[in-house]
Amino acid sequence: MIPIADSLLAWYADNGRHELPWRQTQDSYALWLAEIMLQQTQVESVKPYYTRFLQALPSWEALARAPQDQVLALWSGLGYYARARNAQRAAQKVCADFAGQFPDTREAAETLPGVGRSTAAAVLASAYDQQEAILDANARRVLIRSQAIRSDPKSTRTLQQLWELAEALTPTAAHTYNQAIQDLGAMICTPRHPRCDACPLQRSCMAYAEGLSEQLPLSLRKRDTRERCVFFLQIEDGDGRVFLEKRPDSGIWGGLWCLPQFHPQGLSGQPVPCTAQQNTLADGVVLREQVRHFCAMQYGLVVEVQGLMAMQKHVFTHFQLHFRCIHIGLQEDLQAIKVADRVLSGRWFGPEAALAKGLPTPIRKILSRSS
């Protein structure tokens, strides 16, 4: 085991990102919120969301009591929306079970929805000065390279080894050390093309000594490159209002408002597989008739297809979404609106009201272009 704390702390004192907003406080709520937002998201993307969220919902109590629509609207565009739903449930549990304070033990903290071992440790170290080790993606990468760990970084055995290392290497001043190892991973020991010449651990780094800095961590699992295809239906009434559906709480866009989705059917009556995007998302007489039939059967709406946007792509962690938006107008406004208003999952919104809702990024882009 190669000790790294002293070199890391000396480097961090002069080079760390001390100005980050969540590093200006020891408030457990603000620290926890930052940790949740930073899960799988870059710092620069998080900054504006973090500031707006804290301004709107500045405490455990405020988040616990907020309407879910407000929480998701504040999170809209940040992605991984299960984090937002879990964040509100965690706030409710903190208020109900822990007297409005973040739990002061890791075991208790890990009972909160969305809080794992590393997140709990980070908050406990920063808010309560506890000697708790973290193992986020940045810290994991620094440990793997500095100790030249050649095994699968996602295997149970390797993760256990990394936790043992993290605990052994973390000094009493865990708060500062945790920030230092995160910053080194983000700024120097990057996933690709690490800046070894600027690294304070270069002299002791085993991966550097063995010429393995570019090869570690090992990547033994192929990235899932599944593709999905879908049409979004932008149905507008005579007043320019758009019809949105609130999605179920589960799923990748759980709880968000979304344009209705339509999957074209082949001759067999089954959805067309997303194997050739241009053909799957192509316009045509058959498609338009299927859309009219879908709107009539699903919503009781008599509609006219007015046009299609160009095909677009949105990349998720585990798949790529290819989509086109179909612009649709109502032919029988009054009857249609009465029917649609009875659809429990959907409502009509004016352009500004729609954009104020919690929307998936592709839907926000579609509606922004139309407003």
The pair of structure tokens assigned to 145 is: 């390279």
Say how far apart CA 159 and CA 109 lie, in whole Å: 20
Residue pair 190/199 in contact (Cβ under 8 Å)? The answer is no
In the block, which residue shows the tokens 């230092």? 180
Q: What are phi and psi of 119, to 5 degrees?
A: -65, -45
Residues with catalytic function: 35
Q: State how far the alpha carbon of 172 is from the alpha carbons of 27, 179, 192, 249, 302, in Å.
A: 20, 13, 31, 41, 68
CB atoms within 10 A of CB 81: 22
Residue pair 110/86 in contact (Cβ under 8 Å)? The answer is no
Residue pair 321/335 in contact (Cβ under 8 Å)? The answer is no
The pair of structure tokens assigned to 121 is: 């440790």
